[in-house]
Amino acid sequence: DTGVSQNPRHKITKRGQNVTFRCDPISEHNRLYWYRQTLGQGPEFLTYFQNEAQLEKSRLLSDRFSAERPKGSFSTLEIQRTEQGDSAMYLCAGLAGGTNEQFFGPGTRLTVL
């Protein structure tokens, strides 16, 4: 158990709907990452937070995607006007200061119909 939790674990939605995912790392994780993973591929970087500051965002992240980490603890990832191509596993990972050991949550599987 990495201590990183994600909710929901599964989400099925219709195209055009908005969805929001939540990630709860442990308190030591001052750094937090979001990734997207499709079948047969490794995780693909979406965005990175150091405490509450969003320091980097992938160019692959369209303006329909937004992420927040308001108090430097939990984080949310919102996808607006979902498209079928957004169907994937969304993973969150936390790192403690002074280490590059990145610990993943169990992921949220999104299916857009």
Partner 1 sequence: GQQLNQSPQSMFIQEGEDVSMNCTSSSIFNTWLWYKQDPGEGPVLLIALYKAGELTSNGRLTAQFGITRKDSFLNISASIPSDVGIYFCAALQYNFNKFYFGSGTKLNVKP
Binding site for partner 1 (CB under 8 A): 2, 4, 6, 31, 33, 40-45, 48, 50, 55-56, 91, 93, 99-107, 109
Given the complex with partner 1, which of 49 and 79 has the nearer CB atom? 49
β partners of residue 47: 34, 57
User: Looking at beta carbons only, is 80 or 104 nearer to partner 1?
Assistant: 104
CB nearer partner 1, residue 45 or residue 74: 45
Cβ-in-10-Å burial (0-12, 13-18, 19+) of 16 comes to: exposed
What are the angstrom distances between the C-alpha of 8 and each of 15, 17, 20, 53, 98? 18, 16, 9, 24, 30
| Nearest approach, Cβ of residue 68 and partner 1 (Å) | 18
Considering the complex, what minimum distance in angstroms separates the CB of residue 67 from partner 1? 14
